[in-house]
Amino acid sequence: MKKLILFIIFIVCAVGVVLLVYLFAKKSQNPEIPADTVVYQTNTTDMPVVSDGSIVYVDLDSLTANYLMTKDLAAELEGKMSKLDADLTNRQKKFQTSVADFNNKASKGLETRAKLAEIQEQLAYEEQSLMQLAERYRNEMAEEQLVMQRKILQSIMDYLKEYNKEKGYKYILGNAFDAKILYADPSLDITASVLNGINDKYKKQ
């Protein structure tokens, strides 16, 4: 599950980078900050002190990894993957048994050449079918992962819109390991506040 969550974080961060580029481009077109911008004061358990009240950020890695929806959807997806893997493994074992039986009959001359050719052709067909099934399962899981990632990201973005109605920030940036933000003042980090809020909302659903 850790690998799955890390993969999800990577995709969400990649989307976050695209959003950051857009936000900074938009900011450069209109760099002035109104003189009456609100300044928020807080303590360590609430919102951080913001210099002009217009820009804050969230740590996408931490937010995504600790979001309860991520954990629930990842567990659900892992269950589906386990079932498909078990089915594929069972089919492969049966195929291997058939191959071993064919080799035994061929080496001992227990079947005619015509019959052996027929069995060999059938085994080739089964092998091809197994390869196609494995590919189909991989595609299904890739699509499931993509849908899950979209659900998580959409949920976060929807919550931030609701969250910002009260806060009134102009930008809520996404900071992550591979993001374009090379340094961010920790006092502008609202990850804990957003995480608490989004998890509380998810629990009530």
List the one residue out of 147, 151, 160 whose CA is nearest residue 23. Answer: 160
- What pTM does this model have? 0.66
Q: From first to last of its 205 residues, what are the pLDDT tens digits of the chain?
A: 555 554 554 444 444 443 443 333 344 444 443 333 333 333 334 444 445 668 999 999 999 999 999 999 999 999 999 999 999 999 999 999 999 999 999 999 898 999 999 999 999 999 999 999 999 999 999 999 999 999 999 999 999 999 999 899 999 998 888 777 878 889 899 999 999 999 999 999 8
Q: Which two tokens stand for residue 135?
A: 């590919």
The whole-angstrom separation of Cα 63 and Cα 156 is 9
DSSP for the chain reads: -HHHHHHHHHHHHHHHHHHHHHHHHHHHHS----TT-------TTSPPP-SSSSEEEEEHHHHHHH-HHHHHHHHHHHHHHHHHHHHHHHHHHHHHHHHHHHHHHHHHT-S-HHHHHHHHHHHHHHHHHHHHHHHHHHHHHHHHHHHHHHHHHHHHHHHHHHHHHHH--SEEEEE-TTSS-S---GGGB-HHHHHHHHHHHHHH-
Q: Which CATH architecture has domain 2-204?
A: 2-Layer Sandwich (3.30)
